[in-house]
Amino acid sequence: MECDAKSPAETAPVAPRAASPARTPDRTIVLVGLMGAGKSTIGRRLGVRLGLPFVDADSEIERASGLSIAEIFERFGEAHFRDGERRVIARLIDGPAKVVATGGGAFVAADTRALILARAVAVWLDADIATLAERVRRRDTRPLLRDRDPAEVLAELARVRNPLYAEAHIHISSKPTPHEATVRAIVAALARYRDAATSATHVAVVPAELG
């Protein structure tokens, strides 16, 4: 797997700032998807909307280890990183309900994916390659993209990862619309998922622009 670590500005934990009219979930919501999908940006706004704290899993891993994600990969390898990632995500899920943004490879790891699916609500933020590439081009902080065409890298990742992301409980099609539209789509899908939880395991794709 590749290291697609984010910049520090994308990973700072955020506490809820105001009560929300939306019903507060009793399980942690875990956002998954490729880099550029907006997991951190949307996660912060979703946490505020639901009255839940937001935590970036990569930031928690870096805080616990005292190293950046890139440094962990370089010094100890992927197996060590994935084990630590799984343990950090398990701790976040075991605590009070919150919104968690994960790194692009977290849900690809079988043990971590099983943990999230069993004990949280997984939301796949999906977007087309052109949209993802445009978003990640705005930052030059992801080691995976250095000296490579973002669209090419993302297309390669999508071929491998999208079938696994598709196992998430909720699939949101994130279009290049205002972030609030995507947040509304997630809130609506969460409500439908909660209502259908006793008889179904997945919620259909919800176009963000219709949320």
How high is the pLDDT of residue 204?
53
Closest CA to 191 of 210, 211, 175: 211
Give Cα 125 to chain centroid, integer Å.
7
pLDDT tens across 110-165, in order? Answer: 999 999 999 999 999 999 999 998 888 766 555 566 667 889 999 999 999 999 99
How high is the pLDDT of residue 9?
44
How high is the pLDDT of residue 202?
57
Q: Where are any strands of DSSP class E within the chain?
A: 29-32, 54-56, 99-101, 121-126, 170-173, 203-207
- List Cβ neighbours of 62 (8 Å cut-off, separation of 6 or more): 11, 68, 69
Closest CA to 146 of 136, 135, 156, 155: 136
Give Cα 179 to chain centroid, integer Å.
15
Residue extents of the structural domains in the chain: 24-210
Tell me the CATH class for 24-210.
alpha beta
SS (H, E, C) 78-103: HHHHHHHHHHHHHHHHHCCCCEEECC
Q: What is the pLDDT along the chain (211 residues), one digit of tens a residue?
A: 445 655 544 444 544 444 344 567 789 999 999 998 999 999 999 999 999 999 999 999 999 899 988 888 889 988 889 999 999 999 999 989 999 999 999 999 999 999 999 999 999 999 999 999 888 876 655 556 666 788 999 999 999 999 999 999 999 988 777 889 999 999 999 999 988 875 555 555 555 544 3
How high is the pLDDT of residue 20?
42
Whole-number mean pLDDT of the chain? 83
How high is the pLDDT of residue 146?
62
